[in-house]
């Protein structure tokens, strides 16, 4: 049996509970911080097996032996921390902020723009990727663009601009991502972890006009696919194919999310806001 996590350190509020946010939440929870993650009521999570935000749909979820749980009542997060569980709160507008008073706030929504995070929301605020400028709307920025500067801490200025092109994996970039051909309700026909060939039907989009097939864009493993019966808009990311063909990669935190999580942890540890005993006392 795994040892229960001791979440007794300073409170970190993480906006978002998707793939990259979950890498952050995982690293901070392992380090003993009291982590609370917020989400929208209907999150679109392509790599949902490695997202703590899957608890919004499932009630509870586990990523690499750390559990999350949807909480709906004010103050319910304290009980989750006592159990070594990350609480997930549906609160995109951060109505909980005045009650929580977090020491640290991490905007990990990855919206490529700032959706309202301000420096005065916590003692120290951290933004991931485009949309944030260190010294202006946040205290520090973490680079999220794949490549040489991934996970670099930026103390002044912005992250690299959004390229609009997915990061390269196994020699493929844009072609490895599947987008919805129209708005409707997605029905999955394949499962994450399955091998697919280019042109295989991975699901359909249903609307009043009928059903439209969604086809695999290349050969590889389905690394991500929206949950069955998910309402979607047009041109929304629906799936992700990994040409490396490693099924186990589908169910573990990616190297990108792990690097970003480590960078956020480092930024907090070097912030000067932690006493030597801060992770050992309530």
Say which CATH topology domain 11-163+254-269 has: Rossmann fold (3.40.50)
Least trusted range by pLDDT, from 32-36, 67-71, 207-211, 230-234: 207-211
The residues of the chain that CATH labels 2.40.50.100 are 174-243
For the cut 80, the answer to whether the pLDDT of residue 165 exceeds it is no
281 pLDDT tier (thresholds 50, 70, 90) = very low
DSSP string for residues in 231-279: EE-TT-EEEEEETT--GGGGGS--HHHHHHHHHHHHHHHTSS---TTTT
* Angstrom distance (rounded) from CA 55 to CA 43: 10
The residues of the chain that CATH labels 3.40.50 are 11-163+254-269
What does the pLDDT average to over 186-195? 97
The answer to whether 92 and 40 are in contact (CB under 8 A) is yes
CA distances from 147 to 89, 194, 196, 259 (A): 33, 28, 27, 12
Say which CATH topology domain 174-243 has: OB fold (Dihydrolipoamide Acetyltransferase, E2P) (2.40.50)
């Amino acid at each position: 049996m795994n040892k229960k996590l001791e979440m007794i350190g300073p409170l970190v509020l993480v906006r978002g509970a998707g793939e990259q946010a979950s890498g952050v939440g995982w690293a901070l929870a392992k380090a003993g911080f009291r982590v609370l993650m917020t989400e929208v009521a209907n999150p679109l999570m392509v790599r949902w097996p490695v997202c703590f935000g899957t608890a919004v749909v499932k009630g509870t979820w586990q990523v690499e032996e750390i559990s999350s749980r949807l909480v709906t009542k004010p103050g319910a997060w304290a009980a989750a921390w006592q159990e070594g569980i990350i609480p997930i709160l549906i609160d995109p507008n951060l109505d909980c902020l005045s009650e929580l008073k977090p020491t640290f706030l991490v905007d990990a929504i990855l919206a490529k723009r700032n959706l309202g995070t301000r420096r005065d929301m916590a003692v120290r605020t951290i933004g991931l990727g485009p949309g944030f400028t260190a010294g202006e709307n946040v205290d520090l920025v973490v680079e999220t663009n794949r490549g040489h500067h991934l996970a670099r801490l930026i103390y002044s200025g912005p992250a690299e601009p959004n390229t609009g092109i997915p990061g390269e994996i196994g020699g493929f970039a844009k072609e490895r991502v599947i987008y919805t051909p129209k708005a409707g309700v997605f029905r999955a026909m394949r499962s994450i972890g399955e091998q697919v060939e280019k042109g295989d039907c991975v699901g359909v989009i249903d609307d009043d006009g009928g059903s439209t097939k969604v086809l695999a864009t290349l050969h590889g493993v389905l690394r991500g696919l929206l949950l069955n019966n998910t309402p979607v808009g047009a041109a929304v990311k629906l799936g992700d194919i990994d040409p490396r063909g490693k099924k186990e990669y589908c169910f573990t935190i990616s190297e990108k999310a792990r690097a970003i999580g480590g960078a956020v942890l480092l930024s907090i540890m070097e912030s000067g806001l932690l006493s030597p005993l801060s992770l050992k006392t309530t």
